[in-house]
Amino acid sequence: MTDHSPNTQVTDRPKNLAESKAWMQQRLVSRFHPMNALSLEEGPALIDAVPALDGQAWGSYWEACGEKVRRQALDAEQAGDGARAGALYKKASGMFFMGRFPCPNHPAKQRCAVAERETYIAASRFWAVPIERITIPFDGREGEGGEIVVLLRRPAGIEKPPVVVMWGGVDACKEQMTEASDALLAQGIATVAMDNAGTGESPVRGVPDAERQFITVFEWVRRQTSLSGARVGCLGRSFGGYWATKLAHQVPDMIAGAVNWGGGAHYMFQPEWVQASRYPDSYLMELVETRSAMLGATNDAEYVEFFRRLSLLDQGWLDKPCAPLLLVNGKEDKQCPVADIELLTDHGWPKSVRMFPGGHMGLTPKTLPTVVDWLARQVHAGGVR
């Protein structure tokens, strides 16, 4: 019998400043999220100069760095140097992303979140395939928002391309989807990047029926005569993989193929795992605060309970038919239990699985290409099994 008890090898406290800087330097060299937002050349000095981890110090530091680069981008744009302006806007967006990371829970971080979005769109004006920022009406409930913001990119020269809708986890927003979008565009696929429930500009928290926002986007894609969107591909990264899995079971006729890349299904949401995964070595800081913001939890009791109610097993979805579903993770994930992958393969329709070395999300040079190639096959085939 498989042992599904937590084995996360986590500490019982958050990282201090020295430990955090060492973590950032290591991730910078590996080019892994979130440190791939910085260049290898300037990143080490920027990390060394971080003054502290509290919201005021952290957010203000990165805000100042980003504003300096944004001014350089404006100067380059006014001088007619589009290539330099685009590169500098993208660089500034990465710095503002660091400033709001992992969530904008302080006014300084909130300013960075707005500036990140602004400079990201500005950078895309100089790309071969720029971004179309689109606002989709959303029938939100009381206290929710009334619109969904998506970032659409269309491959050049292809009439009615298939579509992949993608979103991140608790700290990666639609502005972090560039690499996946570029790879899919190269295969003739349009991409729609949106924010995961409870993050970025999402109109809803991570409540049990937050799939409403994703289905609204799928329906919008279907109505676009310039896109082949009867069945979309879905890519949910990290915590966002949970919603990709739920949607694959809930609206299989709308989905050509879905990827759960590092997300949970049931064990991740059990109190023992929630308690054990507060300070995993795979995360920089404020994981509990970031997850609480996503869930809408205001205290520890709500944090545990709001997780528990997300279980797809308890909701009764896992034995239902589902769209083609690819499960991807690292074999030693300490944020999301790999036991959830075994659970998913033990229930319902057959799924595809690809495990990679390492921790959360199995970040290797082969991981994203594997995900993109699988999605390309699914959407080009129209979701036929």
281, 13 Cβ separation under 8 angstroms: no
CATH no., domain 131-385: 3.40.50.1820
pLDDT tens for 225-245 read 999 999 999 999 999 999 999
379, 353 Cβ separation under 8 angstroms: no
3-class secondary structure, 29: helix
Question: Where do the domains of the chain lie?
Answer: 17-127, 131-385
What's the whole-model pTM score?
0.94
Count other Cβ atoms within 10 Å, centred on residue 322.
24
CATH no., domain 17-127: 1.20.1440
By CB atoms closer than 10 A (0-12, 13-18, 19+), residue 298 is exposed
Tell whether the model's pLDDT for residue 383 goes beyond 60: no
pLDDT tens for 266-305 read 999 999 999 888 998 889 999 999 999 999 999 999 999 9
